[in-house]
Structure 1
Amino acid sequence: MRLKNCHSFHDFRRMAKSRLPGPIFDYIDGGADDEVTLRRNTSAFDTCDLVPNVLRGVGEVDMSVTVMGQRLAMPVYCSPTALQRLFHHQGERAVAAAAGQFGTMFGVSSLGTVSLEEARRISSGPQVYQFYFHKDRGLNREMMARAKQAGIEVMMLTVDSITGGNRERDKRTGFAIPFRLNLAGLTQFAIKPAWAINYLTHERFRLPQLENHVGMDGGALSISRYFTEMLDPTMSWDDVAEMVREWGGQFCLKGIMSVEDAERAVEIGCTGIVLSNHGGRQLDGSRTAFDQLAEIVDAVGDRIDVIMDGGVQRGTHVLKALALGAKAVGLGRYYLFPLAAAGQPGVERALDLLRSEIERGMKLMGCTDLSRLNRGNLRCIERNWMDIEQYRSHQ
């Protein structure tokens, strides 16, 4: 399959599957336990239908948004994800360059494979730094100071990962960092020699943000041990409030799913929240971000920027989220499969296709700019939210 023949998320996924060894493909593709939440993240969008308006004079449309003080040329951004150079040797470099070309935001993870400083030099667009809360408070302060010095615009603390999810696909192949594959996993690598050649003929795999703690040699922690030994499961709202004050700028919590937690995020001074179940990779059976969106927007949307991610595969998914009140939508697998399939050209093609879908959808909806989208443009097959009055009556 060739890149020019990729026209949708599913095409990119198939192309990535043909290139990647099974254990690495499953690491991107899989979720926790029975993967119920993973599947629902996308199917949730099918519970709402779009209601277009016509004869609105939509020769030109404006799809720009401002979120957490950052102006984006399109209402989606490349959410921070781990281990990107494992999927393609360009890794975060490809994503940063593509995001910059399309005028949108991108993120680098604590478990990223390119330093946040190098990524900052590649793109002039706004950059997010995603990090976890460590038992070592000094390490937390060090990470924020480093991000500030690098010119990072938005700090994003992931709050739904105090322990790793039960990802059974990885267990079946023995996938881990550093590699500790079982026979089934090794066999999958053997039948995809092109990936191995690519991996071995480029620079050494590194985790620059945490290479003194997590790495590829025997003296460093594995990724699984990083989650179980270095992250602090006692993290509290007081801890986060202190970090928000210390950062003194745009600060976002990723992994918020309840109205109560959204309210607390506002109270401690966060400027954004990302409704997310971590792509279905943590707590299986949890509600989808799309299903929680209206309820949380009604509660706090006038005081904090509400973003969502999870399951987005089409421009119409983005429009439905914006109609419910999201300020922007985060992408994960949507750009990871194109990255794995073809590096920077793959990410660029995926973002270009999504931009075209959003533009086309806006024209067919009769919207000259995204502010015109509202809940009047949706009819829901099943009501998946309570309005704010109903919520308050339950308190």
Structure 2
Amino acid sequence: MSTPDLFKYNPNYPSVADLKKKAKSRIPKFAFDYLEGGCNEEVNLGKNETDFQAIELMPQYLKKYNGVDISTELFGHRYDAPFGIPPIGLQGLMWPNAPEILAKAAVKHNIPYILSTVSTSSIEHIAEVTDSKFWYQLYHPAKTTMRDDILQRLRDVNCDVLVVLVDVPSFGIRYREVKAGLSMPPKMNINNIFQACIRPTWSLKTLQHGIPEFATLKKYMEKGLDMSQLGEFMNASFDKRVEMDKIAAIRDQWKGKIILKGIVSEPDMEKAIALGADGVIVSNHGGRQIDAGESSIKSLIRIAGKYGDKMPVMMDGGVRSGPDIARAMACGAKFVFMGRPFMYGAAALGNQGGNHTIAMFKAQFRQAMEQLCCENVGALPATLIKK
């Protein structure tokens, strides 16, 4: 059986909705819009959450029950819970020092933390604060020299799990960001400066930790690069479309685990298997890339139903509670990731935000498991009410 939670959560914020409300009061509007927004009319963003509500689970109250174990084994490691913190770009914009806050909490609670290429902490710093217990998400570089150097940096710090992002062949058009004048990094126009001034804690923390920047990528940028040229640097430095030959080249030299993130179709899943991927994360990028697509949970149901016996099928998008984690696991997910809730937690509660949010989800998921009379996560699929 898994050990009791190491941290108790703050009873003033027992739900994601409570954390979101508090976070919104502490983050400047332009930064909150960057966190919160989806693409176009945000239809798919909404479906990510609402489609979970149609999934129903059936308890069996009278069967013999010996208690609950919410731990899960994945890639030879037993994690304390079947959920983790996904890659999130520009974390330090939404809350200063957020990558370190969340990475440290993940290690303490023995769950995965995935560092994004475009996060605001470097590979080496996150390796130091986690004792190399982290995963890394790769935006595919256009130049093989940069790709190979990033992979070598990961090997040097003993990072073993590489997550290759495949679902950004073009950048989604996000109306909130357009209206806010956001760029990479955000331009501090008059409106944005005013919004920062009325969020003094965020502003002071930003001064303390420094203006957010793409820390992992600094070594590849020309000295004296003007911040207005950063978008041009990103467009020139990364391949938006990641095809099979590029993944195959990584597979040839990367001896650790490779996960493909953004898989939503059967043809792509067949290619992932052919490439020798060790797992996939079904994801629609938090509703930020294609508004005409389906929700992540609907994609998961199809993909896990057909390929769940071939490799671990994980998912992110729309998970907002312990019962949602149970729903996803019942639908075939091996593991679940949720991004916005952890950023709400960091922004709402600062240094304790990561610990709080993980403990909250653990408590909610444990209660759902107990109510469903499931002794382990492997029993969850049997509770799914099929329609």
**TM-score > 0.5, shorter chain as reference:** yes
Could you say which residue in structure 1 is the equivalent of 2:27? Answer: 20
Describe the superposition over 1:241-274 as per-residue Cα deviations: whole angstroms up to 9, x where unpaired.
Answer: 1111210220000000001111110111100100
Could you say which residue in structure 1 is the equivalent of 2:385? Answer: 379
Could you say which residue in structure 1 is the equivalent of 2:371? Answer: 364
Shift of 1:369: 0.7
> Are residues 373 and 7 of structure 1, via their aligned partners in 2, closer, same or farther at CA, if it must alter by over 3 Å?
same
> Are residues 175 and 214 of structure 1, via their aligned partners in 2, closer, same or farther at CA, if it must alter by over 3 Å?
farther
> Are residues 48 and 68 of structure 1, via their aligned partners in 2, closer, same or farther at CA, if it must alter by over 3 Å?
same
Cα distance in 1 for partners of 2:193, 2:179 equals 12
Cα distance in 2 for partners of 1:111, 1:104 equals 21
**Structure 2 residue identity aligned to 1:111:** V
Contact residue 185 and residue 227 of structure 2 kept, 8 A: no
Residue 48 of structure 2 is aligned with which of 29, 41, 45? 41
Contact residue 296 and residue 318 of structure 2 kept, 8 A: no
Cα distance in 2 for partners of 1:223, 1:330 equals 29
RMSD: 2.1
Residue 143 of structure 1 is aligned with which of 130, 139, 150? 150
Could you say which residue in structure 2 is the equivalent of 1:389? Answer: none
More moved, 313-322 vs 184-193: 184-193
Question: How many residues are matched?
Answer: 379
Residue 347 of structure 2 is aligned with which of 337, 340, 344? 340
Cα distance in 2 for partners of 1:306, 1:334 equals 21
Residue 225 of structure 1 is aligned with which of 232, 241, 245? 232
More moved, 60-69 vs 28-37: 60-69
More moved, 332-341 vs 291-300: 291-300
Contact residue 146 and residue 220 of structure 2 kept, 8 A: no
Cα distance in 1 for partners of 2:353, 2:155 equals 30
Contact residue 95 and residue 343 of structure 2 kept, 8 A: no
Residue 157 of structure 1 is aligned with which of 153, 164, 179? 164
Contact residue 168 and residue 241 of structure 2 kept, 8 A: no
Cα distance in 2 for partners of 1:222, 1:34 equals 29
Runs (5+) with no aligned partner, structure 1: 384-395
> Are residues 4 and 365 of structure 1, via their aligned partners in 2, closer, same or farther at CA, if it must alter by over 3 Å?
closer
Shift of 1:65: 1.1
Could you say which residue in structure 2 is the equivalent of 1:122? Answer: 129
Describe the superposition over 1:208-257 as per-residue Cα deviations: whole angstroms up to 9, x where unpaired.
Answer: 21013469965357564355332224532011111112102200000000
Could you say which residue in structure 1 is the equivalent of 2:197? Answer: 190
Shift of 1:193: 2.9
Cα distance in 2 for partners of 1:287, 1:143 equals 33
Please give the secondary structure, in 1, of the residue aligned with 2:192. Answer: helix
Q: What does residue range 233-252 of structure 1 map to in structure 2 within 5 Å? A: 233-252=240-259
Cα distance in 1 for partners of 2:195, 2:215 equals 28
Q: What does residue range 69-148 of structure 1 map to in structure 2 within 5 Å? A: 69-124=76-131, 126-148=133-155
Runs (5+) with no aligned partner, structure 2: 1-8
Could you say which residue in structure 1 is the equivalent of 2:69? Answer: 62
> Are residues 232 and 28 of structure 1, via their aligned partners in 2, closer, same or farther at CA, if it must alter by over 3 Å?
same
**Structure 2 residue identity aligned to 1:366:** C
Could you say which residue in structure 2 is the equivalent of 1:352? Answer: 359
Cα distance in 1 for partners of 2:353, 2:377 equals 27
Could you say which residue in structure 1 is the equivalent of 2:5? Answer: none
Cα distance in 1 for partners of 2:150, 2:323 equals 37
What TM-score results when the alignment is normalised by the length of structure 2? Answer: 0.92
Describe the superposition over 1:268-321 as per-residue Cα deviations: whole angstroms up to 9, x where unpaired.
Answer: 110010000000111112111210112212322112110000010011111111
Identity %: 28
Contact residue 282 and residue 315 of structure 2 kept, 8 A: yes
Q: What does residue range 195-214 of structure 1 map to in structure 2 within 5 Å? A: 195-213=202-220
> Are residues 227 and 219 of structure 1, via their aligned partners in 2, closer, same or farther at CA, if it must alter by over 3 Å?
closer
Please give the secondary structure, in 1, of the residue aligned with 2:355. Answer: helix
Could you say which residue in structure 2 is the equivalent of 1:266? Answer: 273
> Are residues 171 and 213 of structure 1, via their aligned partners in 2, closer, same or farther at CA, if it must alter by over 3 Å?
farther
Contact residue 100 and residue 123 of structure 1 kept, 8 A: yes
Cα distance in 2 for partners of 1:322, 1:285 equals 25
